[in-house]
Amino acid sequence: MDGDEERPRRRRLSAEARRALIVEAAREVFIECGRAGGRLRDIAERAGITEAYLYRYFTSKDELYHAAVHDPMVRLIDDFEAAVDELTAGETVTGAELVRRLNEIMLGFMTAAVPYLGVALFSDVAGEDAFYTSTLHPRVYGRTREVLAAIKGWPDRRVDLDVLNTTMWSLNYGIALDGLLRDVDVDVAWAAKRMTQLYLIGIPQFHPDRAGTAAPRPRRTARPASRPGR
């Protein structure tokens, strides 16, 4: 028939594939809108189904949130803990190498988890969950603190261990978030090496450059010339 086009048939998916499609759509909506702002109607529309059909797979928004955000975060934390356990149970490494590898593990975790972290943490602030205090803090923050505390002779006793651990957490999270927002891949090994140098060496004081150009000195205020006879 002229002018008529045959409608493409919708590809039938298995129940498992359909569920995965819904979970992926929910993850996108929750990341964009937050847990409170993510609506089942929008999730269903993005998944190409009706809201009524969505209820065949998930009975509530909370159940879908856990499948889309909470459960992937827990799996990433499991991987983080396994990597740290392998690091500490393996061959003896120096303090500097241990810190570098710990930074690398944490930054790898952060780059994978950063899309979920905003949703999970702001859900805590909104009173919808307690993911940070119940799971994230003890299993990630607390685990890295244990490793740092076991390093002999470092950090210096004058350095507060919790401040150091918080700094490590913050730097890694900031680098991962910057990569996400600018849509660039983070060179985890390179960044971990640079961060470790910062922890171990610190920020050097300013010195004249090697070419011999000294830093400008502050100008002195000229003294008034003495008058004759005085």
- Give residue-wise pLDDT tens across range 34-46: 888 999 999 999 9
Average pLDDT (193-213) is 69
- Give residue-wise pLDDT tens across range 79-134: 999 999 999 987 777 788 999 999 999 999 999 999 999 888 877 666 667 888 89
For 49, the token pair is: 């189904």
- Global pTM reads 0.79
Domain boundaries, the chain: 14-59, 69-201
- Of 48, 35, 168, the C-alpha closest to 103 is 168
- Of 21, 186, 194, the C-alpha closest to 112 is 186
The one-letter amino acid at 210: R
Q: How many helices (H) and strands (E) would you count in the chain?
A: 10, 0
Question: Rounded to whole angstroms, how far apart are CA atoms 184 and 190?
Answer: 14
Share of the chain above pLDDT 90, in %: 61
Contact present, 172 and 106 (Cβ < 8 Å): yes
CATH fold of 69-201: Tetracycline Repressor; domain 2 (1.10.357)
Cα 204 to chain centroid, rounded? 27
Is domain 14-59 in CATH 3.40.50.300, yes or no? no
